[in-house]
Chain A
């Protein structure tokens, strides 16, 4: 239950940012040109990576539920690996964009782009750390119910991305 309240307050943070971004987008149609410079393919790959990893979490929850703790831990490890792939692709995008001159201070669109994706990436990292901790414990059969909590959290991170992807990459 605490998890849900935590997510509720997280939603308001992202919600606030995304909402203001939308207001700006509405006022400055020319932003769509800027959005054309994002790497849509990389974003699409990342969407796919996140969705797959979410699927692994579901499997991990199921395994933990049936008291197959080794398997649950292995599935969590796969999810964490998905997180690494995501971050690697994201790093590639950032460096590419920065080399091409699209730095945060270039325009408010890029300010939003880096803030939103950066904040999201921090959440990805946080989720990976939490999952590692939980996986290590679950392997020894401790606190299996926590698999569900990190799962919920990971889905949340996923859903945020599903909003960000079209808004930032496909706005063109």
Chain B
């Protein structure tokens, strides 16, 4: 256990660089993730400029050949999922919230926590340096399918792929350490009075996500080791000529990969599950149902993976069961969404910036979920697989948890992290630019998918169906969306930095919320609470008729 109460002065280095304090580690993960988000965003800009003007040169980058284009796409996907979504949603928010919401002084294993961050940082350095090795970064897609990834003859970048694999393995080691810590902390360090059904919903979802992650990552690590051996030692796991099977990697990858999307999705949904009740001053609708739905989602996410392989040459008899499970998993997801919507119903809704982002998350995700069902039907998917329709689907599914919920969470917990508020006006400008940008980018991509635009094609004009005035206009429209979205993040960055120096003082509980993190001072000192608070009720007792105030903190006896 940690030693929360010590008071001797610490140097800057031991306090902020090699800290074992969960809050500092959370901020470290957050900032690393945000920097990587800027890198990933820049790559998105390169992709869109290239597609809008395939023969031109991208301002700020230069001209791309086909291999470079593929490297950019690969690194964009890899970074956004593994180096933005994972560190921010899973690591940063779990590190920040789990001890605070449990009224605990730190994680169960603070040193393991620090080791986790430093391993992650190392993996980040390995990944970024792969841009600069001879042959360039990995170009086999974020899924790294063999044979593309197994042999340099196909993908150009040779060292790049090895670096990619190393970085991914290191990163997963980091998150395994983090995940073990989250699970043990939640099980062991709950305060008196807090049973599992008094846990805030975000803690539940982080709990399920951490377990799902731990149970799914093994096959991917096994697959990654085999791929590395194929490349380095010359084994033949994925080489049909040597008796191997390239589809095997797809199975191992997606056995992890599909649960992974829920590892990202659940914490995002958890975050907005905290925000909606606070700003509609109503209890979370169907708390227990949401808990069971998230567990069901976690369990079912293990039996849907082959929907990514409908046309990869799997046995057609397999397609039907996987199609059924895929469509079934939308049921618990829908339960969550509708419970959230019901929470809003007749609430006294206050549209602060976190609330705007929370509602935006739901609105955008609806489109992602609905298009997912289209793709889960093999007959449709055979036509749409690997087109921009899929690209638009997963962006509508991923952007809500990864970016919208992240922003919602930052605007909401920033006062707790730094003791000051972020500027509301900047926040609202940021929200609208983001919302408009995302839709302008991805709506045209549904249409482009139907017109036959395949993924990972550096020059769509080479295809007749895409070399039309209409298609070119849609490409441009989508690119203009990026040119709205990226500058749209400037108000956020300004508010983030300015808030730190000159934001309004927040006080312990600026949003009048119930959960325990608001009991601690803002920002909480090392050790968080003078003593661990006791808990008397669930987290969502808003607007109780028998009380004068419309909130009822978990730690108040009466």
Contact = CB atoms under 8 A, between A and B. Distances in A.
Given A1-B184, A5-B180, A20-B222, A12 B235 contact: no
9 contacts: A2-B181, A9-B176, A9-B218, A11-B218, A12-B214, A16-B218, A24-B245, A108-B236, A115-B226
Interface string B181-209: 10110011000000000000000000000
Given A8-B215, A108-B237, A16 B252 contact: yes
Interface in A92-140: 104-105, 107-108, 110-112, 114-115, 119
Query: Which 9 A-B pairs rank lowest in CB-CB distance, beginning with the nearest?
Result: A12-B218, A16-B219, A111-B235, A13-B218, A16-B222, A105-B234, A17-B222, A108-B243, A5-B180
A20 B218 contact: no
Interface residues of B, number: 37
A111 B222 contact: no
Contacts, number: 92
B284 interface: no
A28 B243 contact: yes
B222 A107 contact: no
A2 B219 contact: no
A20 B217 contact: no
Given A108-B236, A119-B225, A20 B248 contact: yes
B180 A12 contact: no
B215 A9 contact: yes
A108 B235 CA distance: 7
A20 B220 CA distance: 12
A15 interface: yes
A172 B72 CA distance: 48
Contacts of B219: 12-13, 15-16
B462 interface: no
Given A9-B176, A13-B222, A28-B243, A104 B229 contact: yes
Contacts of A28: 243
Given A1-B188, A5-B184, A104 B216 contact: no
Contacts of A110: 235
A111 to B, nearest CB: 4
Contacts of A104: 229, 233-235
Contacts of B184: 1-2, 5
A6 interface: yes
A28, A110, A114, A115 — most chain B CB neighbours (10 Å): A115
A1 B244 contact: no
B108, B218, B219, B234 — most chain A CB neighbours (10 Å): B218
